[in-house]
């Protein structure tokens, strides 16, 4: 294919992607349930949602570090869902992940240089030791690690430097796409800012495409072009970053935004954003909106069938019956009604 045909193809696209885990003998936990979206080249898609909603599972499934239960993953327009292990290993050079926990994801017995060179060695990128060392030094410089640290061990470094190692390792094979799974959540604000700036600079310099997972709304707003809001395995709202914060439509998104604690004393100790209602279990969920037990606008229809994830305003997608009603759209009921045999 030529560049021209690629022009409008998103770099990454997922269609109805699901990942279920078996729990006990008969049950299935729907960690990711029929998720669809696309990410254009050079852009950042933010994924937000509460802990346990399936963000990490989604990121790992897209890279096929976990095998999808159903659905498709397209990379540069090609379906990679059925790629063999060997082909996947080839492809994974261009798709990398930076992990949630900079402490747990680095081998404590390896030095900084060892960790960064590992993907280069595994993939036989260089034939000489000198060239390898040169590239490692270059990577360390790119992420702002002093070369004198190349013989240090991860435990000797602070969290920010450890996360820089994670970033350098992810960049080693010159990837096009990086899943950033909460790369700054374990760091404190001053260091968070340094890493976020680094990631944004790298994107500009290298044309990287990011899927940026976080539960921190101010971080996601800062870094993303578009944002998906996830709730219990499903995407409930997607729009441009600016639109989402200006005009949140889904009741869950509205609840999330109202629970943000501002760093000032204006709304002190008002009990806001407190969860009420039972949290739906992702194990063998019944049809209907997963947010219904916690939703102030719940209607009868909400627990009958899954609301459709649809474009309700230009480039603003929502799955909610109330939003459909408010905007005068007809609800389309079908789909998941008989999913679990009810």
Partner 1 sequence: MSEYNFNNSDKDGYVLEIKDLEVIYETDLETVHAVNNVSFSVRAGETFGLVGETGAGKTTTALSILRLLPDRTGKVTKGEIFFNGENLLELSDEVMRKEINGERVSMIFQDPMTSLNPIMNVGEQIYEALKYHNPEKKTKEELEKRVEETLELVGIPKKRKNEYPHQFSGGMKQRVIIAIALACKPELLIADEPTTALDVTIQAQVLAMMSELNEKLGTATILITHDLGVVANMCDDAAVMYAGELVELGTVEDIFESEDHHPYTVGLFGSIPNLDEERERLQPIEGLMPDPTALPFGCHFQDRCPYCFDRCINEHPQLLKLSDTHSIRCHLFSDKALEVNHD
Residues at the interface with partner 1 (CB under 8 A) = 21, 23-24, 29, 48-52, 56, 100-101, 103-104, 158-160, 182, 185-194, 196-197, 200, 215, 217-219, 221-223, 241-242, 245, 255-256, 259-265, 267-269, 271-275, 278-281, 283
- 251 interacts with, out of partner 1, Mg ion, ligand ATP, none, CB within 5 to 8 A per kind: none
Nearer to ligand ATP, 234 or 239 (CB): 234
Pick one of ligand SF4, Mg ion, ligand ATP, none as the site partner of residue 41 (Cβ within 5 to 8 A by kind).
none
Length of the chain: 342
- Rank residues 117 and 234 by Cβ distance to ligand ATP and give the closer one: 234
Give 62 or 289: the residue with its C-beta nearer to ligand ATP.
62
Residues in 20-59 that interact with Mg ion by CB under 5 A: 56
Shorter beta-carbon distance to ligand ATP: residue 50 or 225? 50
- Contact partner at residue 320 from Mg ion, ligand SF4, partner 1, none, CB < 5 to 8 Å by partner kind: ligand SF4
Q: How far is the CB of 57 from ligand ATP (least distance, A)?
A: 3
For 244, the 3-state DSSP assignment is helix
Strand (E) or helix (H) holding 318: strand 316-318
Can residue 103 be called a binding residue for ligand ATP (CB under 6 A)? no
DSSP conformation class of 283 = B
Q: Which is nearer to partner 1, 260 or 299 (CB)?
A: 260
Site string (271-300) toward ligand ATP, x via CB under 6 A: -----------x------------------
Nearer to Mg ion, 56 or 150 (CB): 56
Instruction: Give a three-class secondary structure readout of 31-83.
Output: EEEEEEEEECCCCEEEEECCCCCCHHHHHHHHCCCCCCCEEEEEECCEECCCC
Site string for ligand ATP, 44-73 (x = CB under 6 A): -----x-xxxxxxx----------------
Q: Which two tokens stand for residue 260?
A: 């943000």
Give the footprint of ligand SF4 on this chain (CB under 6 A). Answer: 251, 289, 291-292, 295, 297-299, 302, 307, 320-322
Q: Does 18 bind ligand ATP (CB under 6 A)?
A: no
What, of Mg ion, ligand ATP, partner 1, none, does residue 327 touch, CB below 5 to 8 Å by kind?
none
Nearest to 215 by CA among 56, 31, 87: 56
The helix/strand/coil state of 158 is: coil
Q: Which of 225, 299, 227 is nearest to 257 (CA)?
A: 227
Q: Is 184 in the site for ligand ATP (CB under 6 A)?
A: no
For residues 198 and 216, give the distance between their C-alpha atoms in angstroms, rounded to a whole number.
Answer: 18
Token look-up 């501002």 returns: 262
- Contact 210/40 with Cβ under 8 angstroms? no
Q: Rounded to the nearest 10 degrees, what angle do helices 129-142 and 112-122 cross at?
A: 120
Alpha-carbon gap, residue 292 to 44, rounded angstroms? 30
Helix 129-142 with 159-171: angle, nearest 10 deg:
130
Write the DSSP string, 122-137.
HTT--SSHHHHHHHHH
Binding flag, residue 31, ligand ATP (CB under 6 A): yes
List residues near Mg ion by CB under 5 A. Answer: 56
């Amino acid at each position: 294919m030529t560049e021209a045909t690629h022009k409008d193809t998103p770099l990454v696209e997922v269609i109805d992607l699901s990942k279920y885990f078996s729990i006990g003998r008969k049950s299935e936990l729907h960690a990711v349930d029929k998720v669809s979206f696309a990410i254009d080249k050079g852009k950042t898609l933010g994924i937000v949602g509460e802990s346990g909603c399936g963000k990490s599972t989604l990121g790992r499934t897209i890279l096929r570090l976990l095998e999808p239960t159903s659905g498709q993953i397209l990379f540069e327009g090609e379906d990679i869902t059925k790629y063999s292990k060997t082909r996947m290993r080839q492809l994974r050079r261009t798709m990398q992940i930076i992990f949630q926990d900079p402490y747990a994801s680095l081998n404590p017995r390896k030095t900084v240089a060892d960790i960064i060179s590992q993907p280069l060695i595994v993939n036989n990128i260089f034939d000489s030791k000198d060239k390898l060392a040169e590239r490692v030094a270059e990577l360390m410089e790119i992420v702002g690690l002093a070369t004198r640290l190349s013989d240090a061990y991860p435990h000797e470094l602070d969290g920010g430097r450890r996360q820089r190692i994670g970033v350098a390792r992810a960049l080693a094979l010159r990837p096009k796409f990086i899943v950033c799974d909460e790369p700054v959540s374990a760091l404190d604000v001053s260091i968070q800012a340094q890493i976020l700036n680094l990631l944004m600079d790298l994107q500009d310099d290298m044309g990287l495409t990011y899927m940026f997972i976080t539960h921190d709304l101010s971080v996601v707003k800062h870094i993303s072009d578009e944002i998906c809001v996830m709730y219990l395995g499903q995407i409930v709202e997607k729009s441009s970053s600016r639109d989402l914060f200006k005009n949140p439509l889904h009741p869950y998104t509205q609840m999330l935004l109202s629970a943000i604690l501002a760093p000032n004393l204006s709304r002190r100790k008002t009990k806001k954003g407190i969860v009420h209602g039972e949290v739906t279990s992702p194990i063998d969920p019944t049809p209907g909106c997963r947010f219904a037990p916690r939703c102030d606008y719940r209607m009868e229809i909400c627990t009958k069938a899954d609301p459709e994830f649809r474009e309700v305003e230009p480039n603003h997608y929502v799955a909610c019956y109330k939003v459909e009603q408010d905007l005068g759209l007809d609800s389309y009921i079908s789909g998941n009604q008989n999913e679990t045999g009810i």
